[in-house]
Structure formats: structure tokens, C-alpha cells
Amino acid sequence: MPSVRANGLEIAYEVRGAGPPLVALHAAGSLGTEDYAAQVPMLSKGFLVHLPEARGHGRTRWDAAEGFHYDWLVDDLTAFVDALGLDSFHLMGFSMGAMTALMFGTRHPERLRTLIVVGITTQREPRASVGRTAMDPERIASREPAFASTLSRRHDAGQGVGAWQRLMPAIAADIAAQPLLTPAELHRIDCPAMIVCGDRDPFVPVEQAAALARQLPSGHLFVAPNCGHEVPARRPGLFNEAISGFYRSTEAEATLRARRVETAGIPGAPRTEEVR
């Protein structure tokens, strides 16, 4: 598993397939190889899929006792794609990764060929309240021992035993405090975009996902029926069909956007940090 030195971190990542670059960002407490396990085989046939592990997750070492802020995740992503020389790329994010993707898009819209975000809203509630409960380590340990074991399996080797018990509440606290994206900021994301949610997602009411799609100049909405938060894992067939159609229908625009970046010479940062 390779890693790249970026933004002061050793960011671990998986890379699969061949074709135009696609970066897929995972949810809080998870890993890209698990969140997108049902998508990577399909996506890797048409894209070079990059699955970075966020700070404090997997092998990207970071102690959440030092803090955890979404702004840092956006800086990490920017440094990651710069270090790999990805001047423009497709971007996908789920939950925490979706917020990172949205924030990156408001800052660097010209670098995105397309954007897919799953399970996210720009509203504070109910996301903060649900997150505070769902990410409480004591509740997880007592009521969801299988999930606690999964978190240990994912993160103990890279972060130290029990590090997830500091990570999860730090993420929840940041959700409750982070600045909210404004309609004007969202309007900067001018690439083809798809907003995805489950119709029973406790974090993201459908009406909030629809409002987000309307605020993006080229936003589309896909609602997975009879589904909660984890659309890629719980409704993989429908989700794969939806994103396949989205990528087919936006291919010409994505190619044009990539050529504009190449012609304009909009580069990422020089590749001064070591890829291992």
C-alpha cells in the first residue's frame, strides 16, 4: 500500500484501475476500500481510482487529541492531489468525505471534472445531533460491540490501540462547530454534480439533499429507496447504476473541463514530497 508525504502527513492510499483519475473519500471511522467495496471493481474498469485514508484513519497517522477539523481534511486532499500531480480529476465523497469534497469544490472548482457526494447536507441539524450519538465511544462499546471491533480492526494497527475512541468524538464535535457552506460558495461548484441520499437517512433528510442539488449549477439528485445512510453499501446495485449513468452522460463535459485545465496550465503544487 503506497503513501505520499502531503501537508505534514504520510497519507496512505490504495490505487486501482486505469483511466482518468478519480479520488474517492470515505466516511468518518471508515476506509475507502470498505465504503466503496461494491464500487471499486466497476469504477476501476474506467478510472484510475485513488482511495486515500483520512488523517486519524487506517495508516494515515494522526492523534485526534491534537484536534480534528474539516478544514484540515480539505488541506490534506489538496496536498494529496498536488503531490500526485492530479491537476484535474473526478471526485467522490461519502458522509465525512462528502463534506470534504464539497469544501474542496468551493475552493478549487476548476480542478473538478465531476463531483458525486453521498449522505451529506450543508445544514447543521440533524447531522450534528445524530453524529454526536452515533460517534459516542461509550455507546458504541456497550451497544454496538461488533462496530467497536470493526473500528479497532480498521485503525488500531496504524493509529494505536483505542485511538478511535478519541477520533470519533473529535469528529462529532467538529460537525457541531464547523462553518456552514453558503449558497454563494456552493454556486462556485460548476462541474456536473450528483447529490445522493437514502430516503431514510437519519443524517440527511431528503428535502435537504434536494436543496443542496438545487444550489449547484449542474446539480442532480438521486434518492435511494428504502435506504438509510450507507447508500453505496446498502443499495450497491442501484447506486452503481446511477453513477454509471451519470459518468456516461457527463463524459463530454468532463473531458472538456480537463482540457481547459491543461490548456490554461492550472497546476497543482510541484511534486516535491516523496511518494512511497
> Would 270 be classed as within a structural domain?
no
How high is the pLDDT of residue 107? 97
pLDDT digits (tens, 9 = 90+) for 224-240: 999 999 999 999 999 99
The structure's pTM equals 0.95
> Would 272 be classed as within a structural domain?
no
> Would 274 be classed as within a structural domain?
no
pLDDT digits (tens, 9 = 90+) for 187-209: 999 999 999 999 999 999 999 99
pLDDT digits (tens, 9 = 90+) for 7-42: 999 999 999 999 999 999 999 999 999 999 999 999
Residue 132 sits in a domain whose CATH number is 3.40.50.1820
> Would 258 be classed as within a structural domain?
yes
Total of domains in the chain: 1
The number of beta carbons lying within 10 Å of the beta carbon of residue 116 is 25
**Segments forming the whole domain that contains residue 16:** 3-264
> Would 177 be classed as within a structural domain?
yes
> Would 219 be classed as within a structural domain?
yes
How high is the pLDDT of residue 266? 57
pLDDT digits (tens, 9 = 90+) for 110-129: 999 999 999 999 999 999 99
> Would 229 be classed as within a structural domain?
yes
